């Protein structure tokens, strides 16, 4: 039996095993723990890692900064091998309890073929980021490990240690399970649902379609779990969003999810194509589904409107005409 076959069989077995289990929660951070800062996607502005590290130190943590955080290779923060090296070094370091990406951008998904699910599971720890980092969250969920879709080093640098959104992220990393309550929206579908929360940047998780081991919206995976889906995006046109919605329908995902949390879609032309805004377009497509759906939830590329969301965590979504409640269990 050749080594490639053995590796493939082991990976398939791990994926099957993890799919049947509830995701584990990494150990909560305590004062004195170490947080690693790495660049999973694109190159950040100079100084952002150091400024973010100062905020984390104000919260009582030690900080390790990856050697390649400012590397440049086309649109990426270094080659795939350089970014992977920083991530694996942080992942395997027993003193590191959480890993925060400097920014999103592009390129995180290029790391996945070299990240077997059992590696992510073996060294389970918090991974934080949004936008392009959605692909890493998808892999973490498939590995059976929770992670945090939330602000990165740019928000730590800009808003500081006492900012409400940054403090919400700190609280999540220290083991607190939040309950978010936001006002209702005219297009909301009322109801209640319970399930595993997955989602993030719509374009990024749509691009993982077909990657059976790393796609948290793989049809078979969704069929094995009660899923509450959340989604947001930036700079995507209405036709592109409609295409991605249709992809979810063709995959059978929209027929299976128990609830949908729609965040904010930003930086797109509107009104356009007869729609006033993105919620109107989304509602026209989603109104056939008899599940709770809420709009304009605070998850987005607006970093002052981007609550930390625990990927893989059990949640209860309750939508009434007046209020939306998202409770993490």
DSSP H or E run through 154: helix 153-159
Tell me how crowded residue 50 is: count the other CB atoms within 10 A of its CB.
14
Which of 89, 96, 92 shows the shortest CA–CA distance to 39?
Answer: 89
Q: How many residues does the chain have?
A: 329
Distance CA 37, CA 52 (A): 9
| DSSP-assigned letters across all residues of 29-40 | P-TT-EEEEE-S
Distance CA 317, CA 143 (A): 24
pTM of the model: 0.94
> Which residues neighbour 181 within 8 Å (Cβ) at sequence distance 6 or greater?
323, 324, 325
* 239 burial type by CB count under 10 A (0-12 exposed, 13-18 middle, 19+ buried): exposed
Grouped pLDDT means (10 residues each) for the chain, 329 residues: 42 53 94 98 98 98 98 98 98 98 98 97 98 98 98 98 98 98 98 98 97 95 98 98 98 97 97 97 97 98 98 98 98
Please tell me the predicted confidence (pLDDT) of residue 18.
63
Edge-first strand order for the sheet with 293-294 is 179-183, 323-328, 314-319, 191-201, 227-234, 259-266, 293-294
Residue ranges of domains in the chain, CATH in brackets = 18-173 (3.40.50.10740), 179-328 (3.50.30.60)
Angle 132-149-234 (CA atoms, 0-180°, nearest 5)?
A: 45
Distance CA 81, CA 95 (A): 23
Tell me how crowded residue 182 is: count the other CB atoms within 10 A of its CB.
14
Q: Which residue(s) pair with 99 in the sheet?
A: 36, 127
Distance CA 110, CA 114 (A): 8
CB distance 222 to 253 below 8 Å: yes
Please tell me the predicted confidence (pLDDT) of residue 269.
95
Please tell me the predicted confidence (pLDDT) of residue 22.
84
């Amino acid at each position: 039996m050749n080594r490639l076959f053995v590796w493939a069989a082991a990976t398939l077995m791990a994926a099957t095993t993890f799919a049947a289990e509830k995701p584990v929660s990494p150990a909560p951070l305590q004062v004195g723990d170490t947080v690693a800062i790495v660049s999973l996607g694109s190159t950040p502005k100079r100084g952002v890692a150091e400024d973010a590290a100062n905020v984390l130190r104000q919260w009582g943590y030690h900080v390790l900064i990856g050697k390649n955080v400012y590397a440049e290779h086309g649109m990426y923060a270094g080659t795939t091998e350089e970014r992977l090296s920083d991530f694996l070094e942080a992942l395997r370091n027993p003193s590191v309890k959480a890993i925060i990406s400097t920014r999103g951008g592009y390129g995180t998904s290029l790391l996945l073929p070299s990240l077997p699910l059992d590696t992510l599971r073996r060294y389970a720890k918090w991974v934080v980021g949004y936008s392009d980092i959605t692909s890493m969250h998808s892999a973490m969920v498939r590995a059976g490990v929770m992670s945090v879709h939330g602000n990165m080093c740019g928000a730590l640098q800009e808003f500081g240690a006492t900012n409400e959104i940054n403090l919400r992220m700190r609280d999540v990393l220290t083991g607190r399970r939040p309950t978010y309550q936001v006002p209702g929206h005219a297009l909301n579908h009322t109801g209640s649902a319970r399930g595993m929360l997955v989602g993030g940047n719509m374009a990024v998780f749509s691009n993982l379609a077909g990657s059976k081991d790393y796609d948290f919206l793989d049809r078979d995976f969704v069929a094995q779990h009660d899923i509450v889906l959340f989604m947001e995006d930036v700079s995507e046109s209405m036709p592109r969003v409609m295409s991605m919605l249709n992809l979810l329908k063709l995959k059978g995902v929209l027929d299976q999810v128990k609830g949908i949390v729609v965040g904010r879609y930003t930086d797109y032309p509107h009104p356009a194509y007869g729609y006033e805004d993105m919620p109107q377009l989304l509602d026209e497509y989603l109104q056939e589904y008899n599940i709770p759906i809420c709009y304009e939830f605070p998850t987005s590329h607006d970093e002052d409107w981007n609550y930390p969301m625990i990927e893989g965590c059990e949640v209860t979504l309750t939508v009434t005409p007046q209020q939306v409640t998202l409770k993490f269990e």
